[in-house]
């Protein structure tokens, strides 16, 4: 019996490419607008890499610092030294849009009586800003941040936050992430997991395997209804 759905935030509920895509459509962006997909991809890749490396090294900082450092790398890789652009992209990161199917999906899960929460690398302020700007701030019972334990995913201490907060065993939790490594780690931990494979990527070769794979979140209410 699945009692709760716990979601990763960035890339799962919120479109991490939205900041660069929005900035590229604004006046004055012609010099770099054609490269926004690569900038967005580099930004996200380095954001994740830096979180993993800090977790392994035991050198934690909050996710906002990681986000800024990753953007600095991405902009330098693109040959862009533009403080105003940097400031604009960082500001837009606090206003990321949710993927189109997210509000209706959350409403459907709530109508089923499912408890809803977020478990994210994001700092508490970032998560509050994201759900607020997307109009989702009344949807979740809890916004769980790794800042409570001082280490990034996929450390087990992060997944422990779910049981400590919701008071449920792992097998009563459906954990949903667009990150294949996160879905795998959640499965190894004991959650029932869904990998939202928006890019059609191969399955990660890791100890855990997600129980289900979806292309987006629209089908999640129907899926959980038969679990």
Domains within the chain, CATH numbers bracketed:
4-14+97-225 (3.40.50.1000), 18-93 (1.10.150.240)
pLDDT confidence of residue 225? 82
d(CA 173, CA 17) in angstroms, rounded, equals 28
Model pLDDT for residues 156-178, shown as the tens digit of each residue: 999 999 999 999 999 999 999 99
Residues designated as active site: 8
**Per-residue pLDDT tens over the stretch 86-137:** 999 999 999 999 999 999 999 999 999 999 999 999 999 999 999 999 999 9
**Residue 120 DSSP symbol:** E
Nearest of 145, 169, 141 to residue 157 by alpha carbon: 145
Contacts of 39 (CB under 8 A, 6+ apart): 20, 32, 74, 75, 78, 80
Helix (H) or strand (E) holding 130: helix 124-133
Task: Indicate if the pLDDT at residue 227 is higher than 90.
Answer: no
For 35, the token pair is: 């490269």
Report CA-CA distances (Å) from 172 to 85, 128, 227.
Answer: 44, 26, 10
Q: What are phi and psi of 14, to 5 degrees?
A: -115, 135
**Cα distance between residue 170 and residue 62, in whole Å:** 26
Strands of 146-217 (E only): list them.
173-177, 192-196, 212-214
Round to whole Å and give the CA distance between 97 and 17. Answer: 9
Q: Would you state the torsion angle of the CA atoms of residues 167, 168, 174, 176, taken in this order, to the nearest 10 degrees?
A: 30
Model pLDDT for residues 28-77, shown as the tens digit of each residue: 999 999 999 999 999 999 999 999 999 999 999 999 999 999 999 999 99
């Amino acid at each position: 019996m699945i009692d709760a759905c716990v979601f990763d935030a960035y890339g799962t509920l919120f479109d991490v490419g939205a900041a660069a895509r929005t900035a590229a459509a604004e006046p004055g962006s012609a010099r770099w607008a054609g490269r926004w997909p690569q900038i967005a991809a580099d930004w996200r890749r380095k954001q994740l890499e830096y979180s993993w490396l800090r977790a392994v090294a035991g050198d934690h900082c909050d996710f906002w610092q990681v986000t800024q450092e990753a953007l600095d790398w991405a902009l330098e890789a693109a040959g862009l030294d533009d403080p105003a652009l940097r400031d604009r992209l960082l500001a837009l990161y606090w206003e990321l849009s949710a993927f189109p199917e997210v509000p209706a999906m959350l409403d459907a899960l709530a109508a089923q009586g499912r408890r809803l929460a977020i478990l994210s690398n994001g700092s508490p302020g970032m998560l509050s800003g994201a759900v607020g700007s997307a109009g989702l701030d009344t949807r979740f019972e809890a916004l769980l941040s790794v800042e409570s334990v001082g280490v990034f995913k996929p450390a087990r201490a992060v997944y422990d936050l779910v049981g400590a907060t919701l008071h449920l065993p792992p097998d009563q939790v459906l954990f949903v992430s667009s990150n294949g490594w996160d879905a795998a780690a959640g499965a190894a931990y004991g959650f029932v997991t869904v990998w939202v494979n928006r890019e059609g990527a191969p399955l990660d070769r890791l100890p855990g395997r997600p129980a289900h794979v979806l292309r987006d979140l629209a089908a999640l209410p129907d899926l959980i209804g038969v679990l």
